[in-house]
Amino acid sequence: MKNPLYDVIVRNIPGATNPTSVQPASAVQTRSPVKETRAKAFQELEKRISSPPILRLPDVSQPFILQTDASHLGVGAVLFQEDTAGEKRPIAFASRKLLPRESRYSTIERECLAITWGVKKFQEYLYGTEFVLETDHQPLQYLRQAKFQNERLMRRALALQPYRFLLRAIRGRDNVGADCLSRNPLED
C-alpha cells in the first residue's frame, strides 16, 4: 500500500525513490557513486523526518483547523493548529476508504461525508470549542444556511449542528494534506 506521508517526505530526494535504495552512511564500506548517493539520500531522509512538518501535541487553548477532502476512493482529514509564527502545524492525520455505495455519491455528497466523518473522527478535540473547517468544495460554504432538497446533505448538516465552526472555502492547492489522504485512503 502506498503511504502518502512517505511521498511528501521523500519527494525530490535523489536516490531515495525506492526505500530499499536508502542505506545509512555506516553501511557504505567502499566508495562508489551509487553507495554515496544512497548514503546522502538516507541522511536527507533523516533530516526531513525529524524536521517540520512533524506532528505536535495539541494545545487546547488554541483554536483547531480541520481540513477535509473527498475523492472517488476515500475521504481524508488533517487536524492543524497554528504556531506562534502563524504556520499551520499538523496534530493528526486520518483517512478511510469509501464503501461501495459511498463511492457512487455525487461530489457534493462525498465532500459533505468527508466533513462529517472528519469532525466525528476528531470530536475529542473539536466538541465544545470553536474551530475552523476548511474545504476546497465551494458549494459547501453554505452548509449551515441552505435548505437542502437532498436528504443525505440535510442529515449531514443536522449531524454537524452540535459543533461550533467557521466553514472556510480554500483553494485545492492549499488542501494538499487532506487531498493526498483521500486519494490514498487507509483500509478500515
Q: How high is the pLDDT of residue 19?
A: 45
Q: What is the pLDDT of residues 154-177, one digit of tens each?
A: 898 889 999 999 988 888 888 888
| Number of Cβ atoms within 10 Å of the Cβ of 93 | 17
Q: What is the pLDDT of residues 105-141, one digit of tens each?
A: 999 899 999 999 999 999 999 999 999 999 988 777 7
Q: What's the pTM value of the predicted model, to 2 decimals?
A: 0.71
47: pLDDT strictly greater than 80:
no
CATH match of 64-183 with 3.30.420.10: yes
| Number of Cβ atoms within 10 Å of the Cβ of 32 | 10
Among positive and negative, which fits the CA dihedral 88, 93, 97, 98? negative
Q: How high is the pLDDT of residue 13?
A: 52
Mean pLDDT across 94-110 = 94
Locate 184 and state its grid cell. Answer: 490514498
Mean pLDDT across 63-90 = 92
- Domains in the chain: boundaries: 4-49, 64-183
Q: How high is the pLDDT of residue 45?
A: 67
Q: How high is the pLDDT of residue 123?
A: 95
